[in-house]
Structure 1
């Protein structure tokens, strides 16, 4: 699946079959289904990419302090840029 296909799938009612847990969480995050994305991120705490997603989700909800904690856990500098751009960057780590 390409980034364009993944992005286009956000208009569907269900996630595409066969997504990894990270891509599934990113799919929910891309649809602003915060709780579903957050539940998946919490199930994978300690994995740097999921911790990065966790940080992004807390940015999305407006909790800068919690986001900073998760950026540190992910070994990443805190982000202040556009949330959607950061979401795309994380998705692109998983897709061609």
Structure 2
């Protein structure tokens, strides 16, 4: 799987595909409306990539101070695009990054 349409098709499932790493699982749970479960997937990780998703989740939550902390840890800037566009960008990045 390497495109957003295929990823979105998996949202019809009751759980994320078993081949999804924790970052993709986090984005999957977020798309399903389960912020807490999405956060739990990346909260335990300490790498730059998971910090980026962690930042997005706190931005979505509306906690911009915390989001900015995580964007800094990810060596990213808080984007000025919509949350939907950021989610899609993250999904596409991590689908191609972790083939």
1:81-92 alignment, distance < 5 Å: 81-92=81-92
CA-to-aligned-CA distance 1:32-86 (integer Å, 9 cap, x gap): 21111111111112x1110010000001111111111110110001123101111
Partner of 1:44, secondary structure, is: coil
Count of residue correspondences: 95
The RMSD of aligned alpha carbons is 1.2
Partner of 1:94, secondary structure, is: helix
- Alpha-carbon distance in 2 for matches of 1:54, 1:2: 22
Question: Which of structure 1's runs of 4+ aligned residues deviate more than 6 A?
Answer: none
Contiguous gaps of at least 5 residues in structure 1: none
Normalization by structure 1: what TM-score?
0.90
